[in-house]
Amino acid sequence: MADYVEINVNGVRHRLDIRHKRTPLLWILRDELKLTGTKYGCGIAQCGACTVHINGLSRRSCVTEVGELTEDDKVITIEAADSTIAKAVKESWVQHQVAQCGYCQSGQIMSATALLSKNKNPTDDDIDRVMSGNLCRCGTYPLIRKAIKTAAKSLTEANNG
């Protein structure tokens, strides 16, 4: 049996000591790979601050053990979220000046990007349902909703244009 685990983060393979098998991905991202855009909030999958994409889906990295991943699983963090959808979301976030303290925002952007990847024209209910797992102590929820709608509109216009 291999005495290491291999993970693929932002397109780069990393070989980790087997002792990290039970380590939450969040700690590897922040402490080992220095990808500090992904935040620690609660550690128990309740706040969404640690949201990353694994194979395009939102996952809470605080409760994802490194050993759950295979080397074929593609982890994307906020630092490398540069798909067309992610770019539209980031631009819209800036346009609406969504961030207040900013702490929750990388998780919000990752969840919003995953939402728009699946649903090109989300309703308020769709947004509230999907984003409800991402908490914001600064109460930026109304701006988040607006920004997601603006991003959806700009993506639709780009596709039709």
Binding site for ligand FES (CB under 6 A): 40-43, 45-50, 60, 62, 99-105, 136-138, 140
- Cβ proximity to ligand FES: between 49 and 155 the closer is 49
Nearer to ligand FES, 10 or 111 (CB): 111
Closest distance of CB 7 from ligand FES, Å: 17
State how far the Cα of 126 lies from the Cα of 39, in Å rounded to an integer: 25
The torsion angle over the Cα atoms of residues 116, 118, 124 and 126, rounded to 10 degrees, is -150
Task: For ligand FES, give the closer residue by CB, 6 or 103.
Answer: 103
Structure tokens at 156: 């639709």
Minimum Å gap between C-beta 4 and ligand FES is 25
3-state secondary structure 78-132: HHHCCCHHHHHHHHHHHHCCCCCCCCCHHHHHHHHHHHHHHCCCCCHHHHHHHHC
The CB-of-35 to ligand FES minimum distance in angstroms stands at 15
Looking at beta carbons only, is 28 or 155 nearer to ligand FES?
Answer: 28
